[in-house]
Every structure is written in C-alpha cells, then in structure tokens.
C-alpha cells in the first residue's frame, strides 16, 4: 500500500494492489509455472496472451484440479506396467507437456485501478476467489489484489482511523 493515508472507505484497487505482477504466458509449461509461483511466493497469477492481455488466472486451486484432468501414462515394460497421471511422476521429463492455458481459470475477475475497496471485496466474495487482477484500459495486468491485501488495509485502517 502507498504511504499516503486515506480513509478506509476511500481506498481503491490501486491503493492496495501489489504492482509487481508475475504474469504467466499462456503457453508456459505447467511445471515451469508451478516453480515460478513457488519461487515468487505467490499462490496465483494472471495468464497473458502474446499481446500481454489477461486471458486467465492460474492458482493453486487449478493445480488441485490438475490430477483429475491430467492424462494417464503407461510406464514400464511388457512384463510390468502401471498407469499413472503426469502429476504422480516425481521427475519432470520431456513428455510432460501440459501448458498453463489447459488448466487456468478462464473467467477472470478483472477490475480497474479506480474500483473502491468495498466493491473490490464484494467482487471477491461473490466470485468466491482470493485475488482479482487489476488491469489497465487495454486489459493488461498492472497489479493484483489478494484477500490478504484487503485484510491488511482493514488492519491498517483500524490502527489509524476510528471510522471503520
């Protein structure tokens, strides 16, 4: 959040968003995306097309759905074989080809930077999501607001304002 103090009710998405967006190309391999998210300590990120427009979101929830959707592979020779899902293989190999766009959530909840914090929280509650993507007028991500960002604004507002 910025250093200027606003009344809680006057806060906007721009005020509470994390402006450093980890964006995932839609063709990125799913395993690479998982490593990137883990390395950046984030649980979800916008997915962008070649022009940088937000076309989806990949989150840990999508990874939880991955086992059911992943193709089954046959491992082993003729005397011994087993069928496993891609996600059950400990080591990635050249045959693990799943891409982000195959597992991302396509229904993006995107908001303008001017959206007020109450409307922002309502969108998150109504959609049962933990983050919204803040986009510019062309649909390119410029920030992410997580549920934690909204809670931080509430906590900070409670410390500095009596009108919450």
8-160 CATH: 3.10.580.10
Residue 71 pLDDT > 90, yes or no? no
Q: For the CA atoms of 58, 103, 61, 94, what is the dihedral angle to 10 degrees?
A: -90
Is the pLDDT score of 11 beyond 80? yes
- At 26 the pLDDT is 96
pTM: 0.76
Give residue 68's pLDDT. 57
Q: Is the predicted pLDDT of residue 89 greater than 50, yes or no?
A: no
Q: Which of 14-23, 28-37, 94-103, 123-132 has the weakest average pLDDT? A: 94-103
Per-residue confidence band for 51, with pLDDT thresholds at 50, 70 and 90 = very high
* Top-confidence residue, 64 or 152: 152
Domain ranges of the chain: 8-160
**139 vs 154: CA distance, rounded Å:** 28
Joined together, the tokens standing for residue 160 give 């500095």
User: Residues 134, 30, 135, CA angle at the centre, nearest 5°?
Assistant: 10
């Amino acid at each position: 959040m910025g250093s200027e103090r606003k009344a809680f009710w006057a806060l906007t998405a721009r005020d509470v968003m994390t402006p450093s967006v980890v964006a995932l190309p839609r063709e990125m391999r799913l395993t690479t995306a998982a490593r990137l998210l883990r390395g950046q300590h984030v649980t979800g990120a916008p997915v962008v097309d070649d022009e940088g427009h937000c076309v989806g979101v990949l989150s840990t929830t999508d990874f939880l759905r991955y086992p059911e959707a992943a193709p089954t592979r046959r491992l082993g020779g003729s005397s011994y074989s087993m069928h496993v899902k891609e996600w059950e293989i400990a080591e990635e190999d050249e045959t693990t080809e799943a891409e982000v766009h195959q597992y991302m959530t396509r229904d993006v909840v995107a908001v303008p930077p001017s959206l007020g914090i109450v409307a922002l929280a309502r969108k998150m509650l109504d959609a049962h999501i933990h983050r919204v993507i803040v986009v510019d007028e062309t649909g390119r991500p410029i920030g992410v607001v997580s549920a934690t960002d909204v809670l931080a604004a509430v906590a900070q507002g409670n410390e500095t304002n009596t009108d919450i």
